[in-house]
Amino acid sequence: MSLELVIASSAITAALAFYTVGVFAERRAGSLKLSHVLLFWAGLVCDTTGTAVMTNIAQTSGAAGFGIHAVSGMLAIALMLVHAIWATATYVRHNERAEKTFHTFSTFVWLLWLVPYIIGMLVGIPAIHLQTVCAVGTSVIVVAAFAFVLLRRDFSRRSH
């Protein structure tokens, strides 16, 4: 495994850790704190760094075009950027209503971010190495299961 691949994989996995801790700590706290905002920004920086290195690896290896993984990854980074900016603005304004809306948005962005992460993992790990179509289908099923559990829990809390 090349050093570039180790750096990219480590950065993207750090993004997963920062982003997951940020989203679930915010869910648990029920309010947006500065630590959550910083975790969102750290996740974005790590994901962008890892993606840039992966893009460089793909270009130097002669990989052509934008596949579903590249497109979904770029969309995920764009959503993470919107999410981090919104988190910052919501934290600065201390608006309770905006925080509640943000809480739901935060969960959706995390779920959508998981799709390209899982695709990359399934396609890139030699022991698994699924074809892209199978990896996309598997990632969507896994994320749908997470969404079902998380959103069901959210809706049951609201109804009680």
Mean pLDDT of the chain, nearest integer: 87
pLDDT in tens, 73-118: 899 999 999 999 999 999 999 887 888 788 888 989 999 999 999 9
Q: What is the pLDDT of residue 134?
A: 87
If phi over 0 gives left and psi between -120 and 50 gives alpha, with beta otherwise, what is residue 129?
Answer: left
The pTM for the full model equals 0.85
Helix segments in the chain, DSSP class H: 3-29, 34-60, 68-93, 96-124, 132-159
Q: What is the pLDDT of residue 70?
A: 81
Q: Tokens 């270009």 sit at which residue?
A: 59
pLDDT in tens, 83-95: 999 999 999 998 8
How far CA 41 is from CA of 32, 35, 61, 80, 116, in Å, comes to 14, 10, 30, 8, 18
Residue 101 makes CB contacts below 8 A (sequence gap 6+) with: none
